[in-house]
Amino acid sequence: MKKLSFLSLILLLLAACSPEPNQDMVLNDLEYFETQGVNVLVYSNLFTGGFNDEKNAGIELIHHGVRTAQGGAVRLSHTPEQWDLVPEIPTRTVDSVSNSISATLRYDDYDFDSRVVVTAKGKGVEISVFLDEPLPESVEGSAGFNLEFLPSQYWGKTYLMDGRINRFSRYVASNTITRPNSEKPKQYKGYVTSDDRGTGKFIDPLPLETGRTMLLAPDEPERMVKITSADADIMLFDGRVLAQNGWYVVRSLLPAGKTGKVLTWTVEPNAVKGWVREPNIGFSQVGYLPSQQKVSVIELDKKDEPLAKASIYRVGEDGNATEVFRGNIESWGDYYKYHYVKFDFSSVETPGIYYIQYGDFKTNNFIIEDNVYDWITDATSDVWIPIHMNHMYVNEAYRVWHGEPFKEGYLQAPPNTDHFDLHSQGPTTDTKYKALETIPGLNVGGFFDAGDFDIETGSNISVVQNFVQTWEYFKPLRDQTFVDEEQRYVDLHRPDGTPDILQYIEHGTMNLVAQAEIIGHMAQTLSNSVLDNYHHLGDAASITDGLPYNPNLGPYEVARDGKSSGVKDDMWAFTSRNPSLDLRAAAMFAATSRALKGYNDDLSGRALIQSKRLLKESTELLANVPEDNRRWGRGADMGTNLQLYISTGEQQYSDKFQESLWPSLDRFVSFSILTALHAIPHMDEAYKEKLRPYVVKYKEYIEELEKDNPYGVPIGLRNWAGNGGVVNFGTTICFASQYYPDIIDASHAFKATNWLFGCHPYHNYSFVAAVGAARPKAVFYGNNRADFSFIPGNVAPGVLFRQPDHFENYDDWPFLWGQNEGTIGGNTSYLIFGSAFKNLVK
């Protein structure tokens, strides 16, 4: 026995002293480099977004579960801003034999090509830049290779450049110089992104450090990265000096007059030996009803061995916790990067305060109680929505959220104008107004679109429709907001005797009716004419000076009568006609005319007149549009005819609605089923029976989702995260289970709340700001994003999918809109879902 024990001890010591398994970087089947704890993606995600540099592309580093670096590419400035030129990637080649990935990068504006080759090298990668032709003279001194690091993961940590020690600052602290605009590289479509305020100069950041070897975060092993170059200086810049959404940029300039391999870096991200990602224990931060199903979805590293059991602890009134349930862990399987297991604790029904214990990991607490869902929409309706009312002064207690914006109104956008927010004015104005002429009467009502301050007409149409549906189905009488349209004043948490949602319907309709009456149709957008105004952060009233532009005045000069200025800061109306947008507006006007009847009869009548007119005119215009381009027109036409039938009772509209509905359901049932369900209260029993097989088909869709992913909801895989689809899914379940309880089980709706409130990939925070009292998300992409804060009631887009297998949602970096920007359309859709869900619970 003693000999056996001694032998066992020797074997254990030998095992402990043996080298770790091979930690070298390898090229995997998903076409990126990896070792345990480190992924290096090479143009898996391209610069193809609508806003150029979206901080989501290039060579990327996912370091111990967090995407900490991105943007690796040849760029034309030290700290590229959002609208700066980005390279096209016409070719990408993966060579498993040489363990390398190469890509061609092209700038058409400069007829400039380069080739980047990334090769596995030991525990890191070698990045080389090749030129077949010398640099064009126009980009000498500006073309360089950049790799950008996420500030929130590095501030407070140290870095070394050639052994010199420094620390990344929490707030930007960097030196700059000013240079003539003539020296600035050409920007995207001519937009200058740093306002020179008439000086004719732009700000150029200076490097924080320069050397040949840089070590990032030696004091934090999970974030430590070593970058070396034998043939070029490495510079470190702080991109936040020009834009709050800038990253730390590591950069080397490309040499002039050379070809072949002109630059080589070695990048070695530290891989912590034996690292395994901590479990992400998903659960509803809002809590659970005693009677509902309660299932935690636990996201595990594929190298993590799942435990057999997990426990539920209850916190007593004395503060002590007692285990009240211990249950089995059931495997669901792999989904993209991670493995998923489930823990069902539905049998725990006693009201109280609880937490989940999974091995050594303990969650924050949650509540089981009958009232946990009673307040899930209050922050959205009481705070987020009124803050986004345009053309109003909005106050909350001691805080002014914004003054009255855009008092000077809106100018007609000139023909053949492209806009930085993906709009354009066509070859004519499509109105009676001349280029840059003031269009009177548009500076009324409407809602800011999202984290910016424009009125996106399409979004505002959806918003008013969402308000009307919420009002008609659920009649919420909640009154916590003072709204005075004559004073143009809003005061939060101050009842005024009128249901808030009626006032929101009125406010949105005012702007949209004004567009229809004054322009003659719907504008694409009412937005900024100057890019520096568009990415403005702070008080919306300070974007412009409140005075119309007068070309006869000098820059920043104010007329003697104080009624105009020489500041080119005016908002523009983009008025190219879109008949599909007019159709959507016609549907909304038909609906709002009903809701406003008896409250604002004048606006109600005007809305109905515009509904009928726009339906007639847009139908005639769409008749001349090729069938392939009419898909969205068909959907809008369907909704418009339904709303007009509900408003007028005229059979012709019912016939036209059903003429569009059934083919649409045949094509894609989940796209049109909610509209079909909304029609049921206004149709006969035959309609409901005809719809039944489509509801059965939708049930099959629900069952497929349960097989598709461990959460059983539609998960978005594009460059805008998928919470909107989850909200729509939950709303559809609520209505379908009401009308067809024998087909659709209402319990499926809880999958949507579970997801929104914490049971989802990456982390377990509630996606609704200030909802989920224990741990809602802390930062969002709102107009106060520079403060790393949130606006209560904001609903984040959710977990963003990064090709080929990574989900993320930053809660320490608000500036990626695809995962953190709440929109007026999305948040009012949540208002409908929350109202429908609370009704279902009752």
Beta carbons within 10 angstroms of residue 537's beta carbon: 15
Q: How confident is the model at residue 623 (pLDDT cuts 50, 70, 90)?
A: confident
Question: What digits encode the pLDDT tens for the residues 642-660?
Answer: 999 999 899 999 999 999 9
Q: What gap in Å lies between CA 237 and CA 174, rounded to an integer?
A: 8
The reported pLDDT for the residue numbered 624 is 83
CA gap 191, 180 in Å, rounded = 16
- Res 594 pLDDT > 80: yes
Strands 571-574 and 410-412: parallel
User: Over pLDDT 90: what percentage of the chain?
Assistant: 87
For domain 26-269, say whether CATH 2.60.40 is its number.
no
pLDDT of the residue at 190: 44
- Provide the pLDDT for residue 67: 98
- The confidence score (pLDDT) of residue 3 equals 41
Mean of the per-residue pLDDT values of the chain: 93
| Rounded-to-10 torsion of CA 348, 350, 355, 357 | -40
**Residue whose C-alpha is closest to residue 234's, from 78, 464, 37, 434:** 78
Whether 116 contacts 263, CB under 8 Å: no
| DSSP-derived 3-state class of residue 114 | strand
| Residues with catalytic function | 812, 821
In the structure, what pLDDT confidence band is assigned to residue 628 with cuts at 50, 70 and 90? low
Q: Are 771 and 786 in contact (CB under 8 A)?
A: no
Say if residue 207's pLDDT is above 70. yes
Contacts of 195 (CB under 8 A, 6+ apart): 530, 532
CA atoms 27, 29, 35, 40: torsion sign? positive
Please give the pLDDT value at position 637.
77
- Whether the pLDDT of residue 689 is over 60: the answer is yes
Q: What are phi and psi of 393, to 5 degrees?
A: -85, 120
**pLDDT one-digit tens code per residue, 326-351:** 999 999 999 999 999 999 999 999 99
Helix (H) / strand (E) element for 608: namely helix 601-622
Burial of 440 (0-12, 13-18, 19+ CB in 10 A): exposed
More confident residue, 196 or 119: 119
* pLDDT > 70 in the chain, percent: 94
What is the rounded CA–CA span in Å between residue 483 and residue 479?
10
Q: What is the pLDDT of residues 700-759, one digit of tens each?
A: 999 999 999 999 999 999 989 999 999 999 999 999 999 999 999 999 999 999 999 999
Handedness of CA 679, 681, 686, 688 (dihedral sign): positive
pLDDT at position 627, please? 61
CB atoms < 10 A from the CB of 308, how many?
A: 7
d(CA 712, CA 716): 12
3-state secondary structure of 359: coil
Within 8 A by CB and 6+ apart from 638, the residues are 657, 660, 661, 664, 672, 675
Examine domains 26-269 and 280-368 and report if their fold is the same.
no
So what's the pLDDT on residue 188?
Answer: 44
Mean pLDDT of 154-160: 97
User: Considering only CA atoms, which of 72, 26, 67 is closest in space to residue 46?
Assistant: 72
Higher pLDDT, 318 or 197: 318
Confidence of residue 185 (pLDDT cuts 50, 70, 90): low
Return the pLDDT at 566.
93
Vertex 93: Cα angle to 92 and 94 (nearest 5): 130
The answer to whether 760 and 711 are in contact (CB under 8 A) is yes
Mean pLDDT of 811-832: 97
Q: Using alpha carbons only, what angle is made at residue 321 by residues 316 and 323, rounded to the nearest 5 degrees?
A: 115
Please determine, for residue 631, whether its predicted confidence score (pLDDT) is greater than 60: no
pLDDT (tens digit, 9 = 90+) per residue, 431-454? 999 999 999 999 999 999 999 999
CB atoms within 10 A of CB 397: 9
Decide: 708 and 340 in contact? Cβ < 8 Å. no
State the burial class of residue 587 (Cβ atoms within 10 Å of its Cβ: 0-12, 13-18, 19+).
Answer: buried
Using alpha carbons only, give the angle 94, 98, 102 rounded to the nearest 5 degrees: 40
User: If you average pLDDT over residues 134-156, what whole number do you get?
Assistant: 97
Q: Tens digit of pLDDT for each residue in 547-574?
A: 999 989 998 899 999 999 999 999 999 9
Distance between CA atoms of residues 804 and 485, nearest Å: 50
**What ranges make up the beta strands (E) of 284-365?**
295-300, 309-315, 321-335, 338-344, 352-358, 361-362
Q: Identify which has the larger pLDDT, 172 or 50.
A: 172
**pTM value?**
0.94
Amino acid (one-letter) located at 837: F
**All structural domains of the chain with their residue ranges:** 26-269, 280-368
| Tens of pLDDT, residues 382-410 | 999 999 999 999 999 999 999 999 999 99
Q: Which CATH number fits domain 280-368: 2.60.40.10, 3.40.30.10, 3.40.50.620, 3.30.70.260?
A: 2.60.40.10
Q: Cα dihedral angle (2, 6, 12, 14), rounded to 10 degrees? A: -160
d(CA 384, CA 765): 19
Other Cβ atoms within 10 Å of 16 Cβ, number:
7
